Chain A
């Protein structure tokens, strides 16, 4: 990684040198040497200082921290790839500078300054995103090469499903007369001369739509078929877990595995907001109807004790249990009064 950073700096220096020298290396090949006019010697000096400033800025700005650098770029690329990428980078840089000089020459005037401006513009834009042009290009190149490799190797599961579905649809399409392929039939009689027998396209005309079969429903539901269709659809769309972690995810969704953080009352949503005291202190449900002493009171208290120890009933069920006894005893009121068990009213005793 340090190496790559170093390289990047060297490259910058190279660009700087090239620009300072005033003749990009490719220009000699083209044979187009920019004319430097003696008049604008001062201007040129100004421009060179400007360029220097700009380039210094460039060097100063993209100080990327170690972590960012690791995130953005492949830290230790393979040797083969590195070589190829560097070649590409060089080419791009050269072509950029070349293009800039060409444009500057085409415009005329102060060639050097325009070129510098152009270059600074391009580079400055990229500097705004806190990366240099060359590094950006490195990332792009690597990604592209990976993509192409992957596409060549295998198609995704979704593509497979789509391909199969389209194939099956094409196969299952009923071969009726009205759907016979009409390509190339209509053109034929025009091409042929009159002496030859004219073949008339019977199936090429517009359809009247008389025998079109609409979906007739007699009120029957093919539940089995619907179910099977649904199953087929889910099987086609859903993907099996590709590794053990995905499998665990699936199990968690299906409720087979504990969810984190571990909670002992997981899945007990019904009684989530019920305080335990409501489970245990059930005497309050006896108030208002139960006699304050006597056998019935005794019995109902026993019932309450039993219910308070029951871990399986919900609070509502416990309440229902007590209220059932209330209704039962109230329906037998006459008999209970005869025995003298029911008429012990709460008011008498409390006073």
Chain B
């Protein structure tokens, strides 16, 4: 029982990103830093509420339906968490979590991207040559 409890507890710590280390132990996870973890959380929430949010939003943002319904939809959409809104998603580098200079197609920062491209790790990328 003891062992089982400990193992499940360690698993809980391992899986929960909100409590990396749980205050007393440093643990390594696959995220680069806490901002990246925050962004991941937002993306998850977005995916979770995507369908409902878009449906309500469609009712909000049209001129066909009567204003009463649109007002209700306005209220409903404000009930969602702010983190569930797509505008709160921040594009970060998937490797270094750098928030700026992200090459969009690869979701990598320009520095990481350049490094990989230098070592021929990106398919379909060729050094520009002319003249």
Contacts and interface: CB of A to CB of B under 8 A. Distances in A.
Interface of A: 218-221, 295-296, 298-299, 302-303, 321, 324-325, 328, 332, 335-336, 339, 341
Interface in B85-108: none
Interface residues of B, number: 16
A315 B45 CA distance: 25
B3 A321 contact: no
A332 B55 contact: no
B62 A302 contact: yes
B13 to A, nearest CB: 15
Given A218-B4, A219-B4, A302 B64 contact: yes
A244 B85 CA distance: 49
Given A218-B3, A220-B4, A339 B66 contact: yes
Contact of A295 (B4, B58, B65): B65
B4 A335 contact: no
A332 B58 contact: no
B66 A220 contact: no
Nearest to B59: A299
A221 B68 CA distance: 57
B58 to A, nearest CB: 7
B69 A298 contact: no
A305 B102 CA distance: 36
A299 B62 contact: yes
A335 B71 CA distance: 12
Given A321-B55, A324-B55, A220 B65 contact: no
A325 B3 contact: no
17 contacts: A218-B3, A218-B4, A219-B1, A221-B7, A296-B65, A298-B64, A321-B51, A321-B55, A324-B51, A324-B52, A324-B55, A328-B55, A332-B69, A335-B68, A335-B72, A339-B66, A341-B66
Contacts of B62: 299, 302
A84 to B, nearest CB: 54
Contacts of B51: 321, 324
Nearest to B73: A328
Contacts of B4: 218-220
Contacts of A325: 55
A295 B7 contact: no
Specify which of B4, B7, B58, B64 lies most central, judged by the most chain A CB atoms within 10 Å of its CB: B64
